[in-house]
Structure 1
């Protein structure tokens, strides 16, 4: 009988190699899983950023169109105000009867602007600010400060922080 004796270390070697191979494969799988999770997190963050950017761009585009449309209404409001001033100054019965209609239209315009958060720029008495005023004239004045707005020739308006139209003003100077 041939007794072959196998050394215990020799018997364990194939199992150790299999376990080492399993461990390496497990490490590779864990690494792939971690990379996939990282890619998923990055994609989620990119999608979140994309959604936020789209929302912001949509809001900005809406604000831009609202600004343009409201800006186009302002000259009509100016004309209504001029017509109202002329009707108020006149003693002719025809113009006096039209004044009520003009007052109603004027009130509706102002309510529309208010609902849309459009506010007039208060210019008279303020210091000239080139960010909101457009100087179209100067007048020597001893009763006003240098650079003080003394007359608002065309009212300016803001929509929130956005300037719809600057005020056209006359500014005091020292002679």
Structure 2
């Protein structure tokens, strides 16, 4: 029991010492005088500093918003211009074909040489096809091919010694633009 009292007394002494240290710290804090005017001035300066930062951030946000709006408007205009003038390059490449048609017509009025006119028209057709091929146009193969409803439109069916659903005749050419069918071939198939 004596030992317990000694331990208890030792613990109480330690606690008193800690409380005394805390009390001294509190007294030191209380003895330091805080000038309310200085404290208020410091708080006002902090408020002004934060207000200035907030104004800078707001101005930066406004500039970014304006830049984004300008970017959006510029992009929209470019998109509209692209749509409006998308065919410009193709049209420019077709102008020589048009020029040759005009020359052929003018020549046919002066000369009645239909052989020369026929050759001129064939040359213009080759020129025209070349322009279209350069743009990605390809002819869909037909005669001798098996009918494919994705590529061909059967207008006629005819009995034949060919296997069923083979294309016998092309009635109108079909075309791909790059890898997309833009017009199916119209064909006659074996039945």
The TM-score range, normalised by the shorter chain, is: 0.5 to 0.7
- Of 2, 9, 26 in structure 1, the residue corresponding to residue 33 of structure 2 is 9
Correspondence for 2:5: none
User: Structure 1 residue 59 and structure 2 residue 59: aligned?
Assistant: no
Cα distance, 1:123 vs structure 2: 4.0
**Separation in structure 2 between the aligned mates of residue 152 and residue 43 of structure 1, nearest angstrom:** 59
Q: Is contact 2:154-2:189 (8 Å) kept?
A: no
Higher share of residues assigned helix: 2
- Root-mean-square deviation (CA, aligned residues, Å) is 4.0
What 5-or-longer segments of structure 2 have no aligned partner? Answer: 1-30, 102-112
The 3-state SS of whatever aligns with 1:9 is: coil
May I ask how many residue pairs the two structures share in their alignment? 141
User: Helix, strand or coil: the match of 2:86?
Assistant: helix
Per-residue Cα deviation, 1:110-164 (whole angstroms, up to 9, x for no partner): 233345x1513314136222xx65x260325673564x6554333344555777x
- Ranked by relative contact order (alpha carbons within 8 Å, sequence separation 6 or more), the top structure is 1
Q: Kindly tell me: are residues 144 and 31 of structure 1, through their superposed partners in 2, closer, same or farther at Cα, counting changes over 3 Å?
A: farther
Answer yes or no: is 1:119 the counterpart of 2:134: no
Q: 2:55 aligned with 1:32, yes or no?
A: yes
SS of the residue 1:63 aligns to: coil
> Take 2:64 and 2:164, find their aligned partners in 1: how far apart are those partners?
61
Tell me if the contact between 2:138 and 2:178 (Cα under 8 Å) persists in the aligned partners. Answer: no
Give the match for residue 137 of structure 1: 155
Mapped contact 1:137–1:170 kept (Cα < 8 A):
yes
Counterpart for residue 100 of structure 1:
119
What TM-score does the superposition give when structure 1 sets the normalisation length? 0.57
- 1:42 is paired with a residue of what secondary structure? helix
Give the direction of change, closer, same or farther, for the CA distance of 1:101–1:40 in structure 2 (3 Å limit).
Answer: same
